Amino acid sequence: MKPRISLSAALFALLASGCATSPAPMPTTSQPEAQSAIPWSRDQSLATMSERVDRDAYLDAYVLDIGQGLCVYVDCPDEARPLLIDCGSDKLGRSTSRQITDWIDQGAEAAGSIALAISHPHADHYDVLPGIERARVESATAGGRRSDYTNRRFLNWFGSTNQLQVFSAQSSQLDYAPLSCGSATVDVLSANASGHTSENGDSLVIAISWGSTTLILPGDAEIENETAAVATARRANRFENQTTAVISSHHGSDEEGSNDEAFFAFWEPRYLIFSAEPTYRHAHPRCSMIERTQHLVAQGRETQIRCGVREDVLRTISTPAQLISTYNQGHVRIRLSRSDITVACLITSPACPVALDPGDVPATRTPVS
């Protein structure tokens, strides 16, 4: 993450490790309510000297290269505890599940706890979570229904799904407190938009806004969620002039109305990011989706993106649209600074010319040159 010794963080670490008020009282076994802290936290005394740089100057969202899945770790400003939004699959990514969860544990140790969101109940969005061993999860919010979360490893790790905070069908929640992120605002623009007729269509659509910048995380949204999210955003009347980065719905799928033109026309993405692995059988992102939407994304220097025509048939698109894919670029950091958005990547490209320090992101299976 962001190694640096800061005096306030060092003081916090000393206080937290040595005094009785320190972090995270473990809840007693008689607290089953969704609002309580989650009782399976492994370790609550892990404040360390591992600090981050300028935690009040940036909001950093790391889209981790986990292959055909999604795992976004958000380092919040104001030394607030971070968010983890989805974490599932390591099918073919550069980092293994273990490398990803070791890194998340390291961040959670420094921060004390995390808040968790699971966009919807598909394994490629939550099956890596059981590898997290040291993070104290302060709250867990999920799309879909509690009964949809049937992954056995997840249930063994998580305990009771009563602890999942879920929304009623077809809802939204502006300024959603359980996912607060320091002085940034977190909105659930859409939840369960399909009315439980499609698990992807139930995905949470989350907006994280800080100053004049917004990051959109739509999970595996389809046309219903994207339409509902835009309607909520219009009603909120505070997104129209934001600079935005958008994580592509459903890894860049071109089915079920995902990545709708109206969705992009509203957000006008400065950057569109794919968390995807085209060599896996779904062949995401789809070339047809890129060709359909690339004119709606900010234009810059010509960049190359590998995409799927169908299973086992891939090609490379060259486009001035500012597209970034974890398949091409590895781990991606989206940095909000209140007034601007910048990106950095493990492997640079014309759309992502700034290199991430490999020491600041999860280790990879093989060294990345």
Nearer Cβ to Zn ion (202/220): 220
Considering the complex, what minimum distance in angstroms separates the CB of residue 249 from Zn ion?
A: 9
Specify the residue, 220 or 277, whose C-beta has the smaller distance to Zn ion: 220
**Nearest distance from residue 122's CB to Zn ion, in Å?**
5
Decide: 222 and 205 in contact? Cβ < 8 Å: no
- The residue (of 105 and 220) whose beta carbon lies closer to Zn ion is 220
Structure tokens given for 299? 């234009």
Min CB(66)–Zn ion separation in Å = 11
Structure tokens at 165: 């905070």
| Least distance from Zn ion to the Cβ atom of residue 125, Å | 6
Sites of contact with Zn ion (CB under 5 A) = 124, 220
Phi, psi dihedrals of residue 137, rounded to the nearest 5°: -90, 115
Q: How far is the CB of 120 from Zn ion (least distance, A)?
A: 8
CB of 106 to Zn ion, least distance (A): 25
Nearer to Zn ion, 124 or 148 (CB): 124
Residue 218 or 330: the one with the smaller Cβ distance to Zn ion is 218
CA distance 149 to 155: 8
88 vs 269, which CB is nearer to Zn ion?
88
**Both tokens assigned to 193:** 């938009």
Choose between 62 and 239: whose C-beta lies nearer to Zn ion. 62
Nearest CA-CA partner of 182 in 114, 80, 108: 80
In whole angstroms, the minimum distance from the beta carbon of 65 to Zn ion comes to 15
Whichever of 154 and 239 has its CB closer to Zn ion, that residue is: 154
| Closer residue to Zn ion (CB): 275 or 328 | 275
Least Å distance, CB 220 to Zn ion, is 4
In the complex, the smallest distance separating the C-beta of residue 118 from Zn ion, rounded to whole angstroms, is 11
Query: What minimum distance in Å lies between the beta carbon of 89 and Zn ion?
Result: 8
Contacts from 154-162 at CB under 8 Å and sequence distance 24+?
Answer: 154/126, 154/127, 154/129, 154/130, 156/130, 157/40, 157/129, 157/130, 157/132, 158/38, 158/40, 158/129, 158/130, 159/38, 159/39, 159/40, 160/32, 162/32, 162/33, 162/34
Nearest residue (CB) to Zn ion, 65 versus 79: 65
Cα gap 337→95, rounded to integer Å: 27
